[in-house]
Copies of this chain bind each other. A is one copy, B any other.
Amino acid sequence: MKSSRGAEELRPSSVRKRESMLAAAQEQFLAHGYEAVTMDSIARASGVAKQTLYSHFGGKEALFLELVGSQTRAASERVLGEPPALPRDADARAVLAPILEQQLETVLSPGLLALRRLVIGLLPQFPDLARELHQHGPQRAMDALAEVLRRLDEAGALRIPDPATAASQLNWLVMGEPVNRAMLLGDDEALPGTDAATQVARALDVFLAAYGVDS
């Protein structure tokens, strides 16, 4: 919230320029890997002077950190926003299914998967990058999910003694297999023979058996 209000206060042309530099940098990093890309090659690809690039981002590592952070935050904002208001007779499956489906589709977007692979491969050299991705990506999604579960518990639609643990379990019931397959077998193998809605429905069968009020 704070950062997007900050961005709106900038002059629109500066925002566009910054975004186009970040887009060019992302293309370079994903195509050639971190090591092979230089501030020179990013400046050339985005059609700005190298000094402009340095004055916006400070250096290659800081630029990459900003790229990972901005991509991950943008994805989180598409998915999360404010937790939904719950009616008194809220149905847990009806509340959770669309949130989880959108979350799964976002996590499986090719740009985010490619960034995630790059960042994992760079962990030994650049632990801060991966920490940034974790904090604004999976951790933020699970925190938001924990808040929804807490509200469903409050509304009497679920029994959730420990929202953080339950959110992690639900998250990985849904995301574990597709993300692992995407990491190791490629984007197209994330959900073989199934789709996001089925993957989420099966995960909710298990989760609601454990945490549902009828169980």
Contacts and interface: CB of A to CB of B under 8 A. Distances in A.
Copies in the complex: 2
Interface in A182-202: 183-186, 202
Interface string A116-143: 0111111110010011011000100000
Contact of A120 (B117, B131, B134, B168): B117
A162 to B, nearest CB: 9
Contact of A171 (B120, B176, B206): B176
A56 B120 CA distance: 30
A138 B180 contact: yes
Most buried by B among A171, A172, A177, A209: A172
B206 A119 contact: no
A55 interface: no
Given A138-B184, A177-B172, A210-B210, A117 B121 contact: yes
Q: Which 6 A-B pairs have the closest CB atoms?
A: A121-B121, A172-B176, A209-B210, A176-B176, A134-B184, A206-B210
Interface of A: 30, 33, 35, 114, 117-124, 127, 130-131, 133-134, 138, 165, 168-169, 171-173, 175-177, 179-181, 183-186, 202-203, 205-207, 209-211, 215
28 contacts: A30-B124, A35-B35, A114-B124, A117-B121, A118-B121, A120-B183, A121-B122, A123-B184, A127-B185, A127-B186, A131-B184, A131-B185, A134-B185, A138-B184, A168-B176, A168-B177, A169-B202, A169-B203, A172-B172, A172-B173, A175-B176, A176-B176, A179-B180, A205-B210, A206-B209, A206-B210, A209-B209, A210-B210
Given A130-B185, A168-B177, A209-B210, 19 more contacts: A35-B35, A114-B124, A117-B120, A117-B121, A118-B121, A119-B184, A123-B183, A123-B186, A127-B186, A130-B183, A130-B184, A134-B180, A138-B184, A173-B176, A206-B207, A206-B209, A206-B210, A206-B211, A209-B209
